[in-house]
C-alpha cells in the first residue's frame, strides 16, 4: 500500500465549507476503493479563523499546513469581515499562507469540457477541446517589489510607485515548473513578457530561454509579448499548451483564459513551492472562485471546481495522474449527462443542488471503476 497522504483541509468561509463537504465525500470514496488513502486534518482560515481566534491564520494552522503533504482550501472572505483592518481581513490569511509556504508557481488550467463548449464566451469551434495551463509566478514581481508606496511631491501633487523586479533564481524556478508540466503534456511552452519595453522582461526572456537550452532541450519554447498573448487568447486559444509568465501578466491572462471556459464554479488552481530532494513540494489547491456570499447556505454552490482542485492535487502532489483523470472523467461524464448547478445551467439541462452534483460525481466514479 502507498503511504497514507497527509492532507490539511481549510474549508474557510461562505460556500467554502459547502464545496469542501463534497470533496470530503470523494476523499472517503478514495479511502475505501482506491490504492491511495488520506489522513485528514481540519483547520480554520479567513473569517472563520478570525471569529474563533482573532486572526485569519494562526501559527498552529500554518504549522499544520507546512507539515501536510498538501493543503486543500475552500474560499475565504465575505461581507461580515469587510470592515476589519487590513491585517485582519480573511484574504490576509490566504496571502500569508502562500507567502510562508513559499508557493511561487500558480497553476491555472483553462479546460473546456465537451458538453460545455456551447456555454463559453467564444464561438464553440474556437474553444471545443481547449486545454491550456497557465503557470503564473506568484510571490515576486511588481506586486511585491520595492520601492513601493504613494509619496507627496514638493508641488503638493502625489506619486504612486511600484517596482517590477525579478532575479535569475525567481525566473528559473517558475520556468522549471512550466517545463516539467509541459513535458507531461504536449511539450510546448509559450513564455510571456514585455521584453520590448521592460528590462525585467529582457531578463525574463533570456533566463527562460537559457534554462530551456541547458536542461529541457525537448521542450518547444516560444516567446510572446503580453499584449499579443491577450489578443491571441481570444483569437485562437488552442494554439497554446503551457503559458509561463510573471505575477501581473499571469493575474490578467489567467482570468482572461478562465472566461474562455464558461464558469467560475468550474475552475481549479494549484500553488506550488520548491521541490525538496525527497520529492516533497509544498502545495495548496483551491477553486478559483471566492466565498460567493450571495448563494451561501442555499445548496446552490457548484462543487466541480473543488473536485477538479482535488484532481490537480492527485496529479501534482502525488504523481497519481490516472486517479486525477478518473475524477476529471467523472466530472466530464456528469456534465455530458446534462446535470448542472444553477451557475452553469443551459437550455435542455437539469438544475441540481450542490449535494446532488456531489452524488452524481460519486456515482460516476463508482461506474468508471466497476
Ligand atoms: P465570488 O467568486 O465569491 O463570486 C462571484 C459570483 O460567482 C457570485 O455571483 C457567486 O455566486 C458566483 N460563484 C462563485 N463561485 C461559485 C460556485 N462554486 N458555484 C456557483 N456560483 C459561484 O467573488 P466575489 O463575489 O467577488 O467575492 C466574494 C468574497 O470572496 C469576497 O470577500 C472576496 O474577497 C472573496 N474571494 C475569495 C477568494 C479566495 O478565497 N481565493 C477569491 C475571490 C474572492
- 78 Cβ closer than 6 Å to some ligand 1 atom: yes
How do residues 289-324 score in pLDDT, each as one tens digit? 999 999 999 999 999 999 999 999 999 999 999 999
Query: Is the same domain home to 84 and 206?
Result: no
Query: Is the same domain home to 210 and 303?
Result: no
Sign (positive or negative) of CA dihedral 223, 174, 290, 301 = positive
**Grid coordinates belonging to 243:** 503559458
| 79 CA closest ligand 1 atom index | 32
Of 244, 264, 284, which residue constitutes the final position of a domain?
A: 264
Query: Is the same domain home to 116 and 237?
Result: yes
Question: Which runs of E-coded beta strand occur in 13-82?
Answer: 38-43, 70-75
- 77 Cβ closer than 6 Å to some ligand 1 atom: yes
255 is catalytic: yes
Distance of CA 12 from the midpoint of ligand 1 (Å): 12
How do residues 214-248 score in pLDDT, each as one tens digit? 999 999 999 999 999 999 999 999 999 999 999 99
On average, the pLDDT of the chain sits at 95
User: Residue of the nearest CA to atom 6 in ligand 1?
Assistant: 292
Q: pLDDT: is 322 or 3 the higher one?
A: 322
CA distances from 148 to 142, 163, 164, 183 (A): 9, 6, 10, 38
Task: Identify the pLDDT of residue 277.
Answer: 73
Q: pLDDT: is 262 or 235 the higher one?
A: 235
Query: Is the same domain home to 161 and 228?
Result: yes
Task: Identify the pLDDT of residue 244.
Answer: 98
297 in helix, strand or coil? coil
Which CATH number does the domain housing residue 323 bear? 3.40.718.10
- For the cut 80, the answer to whether the pLDDT of residue 278 exceeds it is no
Containing structural domain, residue 220: 105-264
CA distances from 149 to 89, 143, 247, 336 (A): 20, 11, 18, 50
Query: Is the same domain home to 12 and 29?
Result: yes
How do residues 57-109 score in pLDDT, each as one tens digit? 999 999 999 999 999 999 999 999 999 998 999 999 999 999 999 999 999 99
Q: Provide the number of structural domains found in the chain.
A: 2
Of 264, 294, 327, which residue constitutes the final position of a domain?
A: 264
- For the cut 80, the answer to whether the pLDDT of residue 263 exceeds it is no
Stated pTM of the model:
0.94
Query: Is the same domain home to 34 and 139?
Result: no
Query: Is the same domain home to 89 and 138?
Result: no
Query: Is the same domain home to 110 and 223?
Result: yes
Query: Is the same domain home to 229 and 245?
Result: yes
**Which residues face 159 on adjacent strands?**
151
| 76 CA closest ligand 1 atom index | 40
| Closest by Cα among 109, 106, 105 to 133 | 109
With cell 499546513, the residue in question is 65
Query: Is the same domain home to 231 and 135?
Result: yes
- For the cut 70, the answer to whether the pLDDT of residue 344 exceeds it is yes
Query: Is the same domain home to 95 and 215?
Result: no
Query: Is the same domain home to 85 and 125?
Result: no
6 is catalytic: no
Of 229, 264, 299, which residue constitutes the final position of a domain?
A: 264
Sign (positive or negative) of CA dihedral 54, 57, 63, 68 = positive
Amino acid at each position: 500500500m502507498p503511504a497514507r497522504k497527509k492532507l490539511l483541509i481549510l474549508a474557510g468561509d461562505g460556500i467554502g465549507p459547502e464545496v469542501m463537504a463534497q470533496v470530503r465525500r470523494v476523499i472517503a470514496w478514495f479511502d475505501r476503493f482506491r490504492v491511495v488513502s488520506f489522513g485528514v486534518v481540519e483547520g480554520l482560515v479567513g473569517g472563520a479563523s478570525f471569529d474563533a481566534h482573532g486572526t485569519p491564520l494562526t501559527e498552529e494552522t500554518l504549522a499544520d499546513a507546512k507539515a501536510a503533504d498538501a493543503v486543500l482550501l475552500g474560499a475565504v472572505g465575505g461581507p461580515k469581515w469587510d470592515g476589519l483592518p487590513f491585517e485582519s481581513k480573511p484574504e490576509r490569511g490566504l496571502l500569508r499562507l502562500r507567502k510562508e509556504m513559499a508557493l511561487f508557481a500558480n497553476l491555472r488550467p483553462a479546460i473546456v469540457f465537451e458538453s460545455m463548449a456551447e456555454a463559453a464566451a467564444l464561438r464553440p469551434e474556437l474553444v471545443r477541446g481547449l486545454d491550456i495551463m497557465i503557470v503564473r509566478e506568484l510571490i515576486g514581481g511588481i506586486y511585491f517589489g520595492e520601492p513601493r508606496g504613494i509619496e507627496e511631491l514638493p508641488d503638493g501633487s502625489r506619486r504612486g510607485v511600484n517596482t517590477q523586479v525579478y532575479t535569475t533564481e525567481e525566473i528559473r524556478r517558475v520556468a522549471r515548473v512550466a517545463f516539467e508540466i509541459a513535458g507531461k503534456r504536449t511539450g510546448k511552452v509559450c513564455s510571456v513578457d514585455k521584453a520590448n519595453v521592460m528590462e525585467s522582461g529582457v531578463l525574463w526572456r533570456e533566463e527562460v530561454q537559457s534554462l530551456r537550452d541547458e536542461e529541457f532541450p525537448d521542450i518547444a519554447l516560444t516567446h510572446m509579448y503580453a499584449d499579443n498573448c491577450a489578443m491571441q487568447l481570444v483569437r485562437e486559444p488552442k494554439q497554446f499548451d503551457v503559458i509561463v509568465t510573471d505575477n501581473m501578466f499571469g493575474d490578467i491572462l489567467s482570468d482572461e483564459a478562465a472566461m474562455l471556459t464558461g464558469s467560475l464554479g468550474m475552475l481549479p488552481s494549484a500553488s506550488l513551492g520548491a521541490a525538496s530532494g525527497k520529492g516533497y513540494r509544498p502545495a495548496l489547491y483551491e477553486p478559483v472562485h471566492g466565498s460567493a456570499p450571495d448563494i451561501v447556505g442555499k445548496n446552490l454552490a457548484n462543487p466541480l471546481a473543488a473536485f477538479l482542485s482535488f484532481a490537480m492535487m492527485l496529479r501534482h502532489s502525488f504523481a497519481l495522474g490516472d486517479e486525477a483523470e478518473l475524477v476529471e472523467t467523472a466530472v466530464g461524464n456528469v456534465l455530458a449527462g446534462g446535470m448542472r448547478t444553477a451557475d452553469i445551467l443551459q437550455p435542455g439541462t437539469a438544475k441540481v443542488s450542490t449535494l446532488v452534483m456531489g452524488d452524481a460525481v460519486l456515482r460516476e466514479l463508482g461506474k468508471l471503476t466497476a
